[in-house]
Amino acid sequence: FEDSPHGIEGALRAGMKAVMIPDLLPPWEEHRRQIEVYNNLQEAAEKILGSG
């Protein structure tokens, strides 16, 4: 989980699957097709764990 575009960039360069929960900045457009983006941890948990 990451909240900054720079953190997402690092994760993608390392070959990791990235999940973004934006804080102040939205994901960079070039990352949008490569990552999952959720509004908050609750939404992420519901989607990932299948309860929402």
Tens of pLDDT, residues 1-52: 999 999 999 999 999 999 999 988 888 898 889 999 999 999 999 998 997 5
Strand, helix or coil at 45?
A: helix
Judge whether 20 and 27 are in contact, CB under 8 Å.
yes
Q: Is the whole model's pTM more than 0.85, yes or no?
A: no
> If you ran DSSP here, which 8-state letter would residue 10 be given?
H
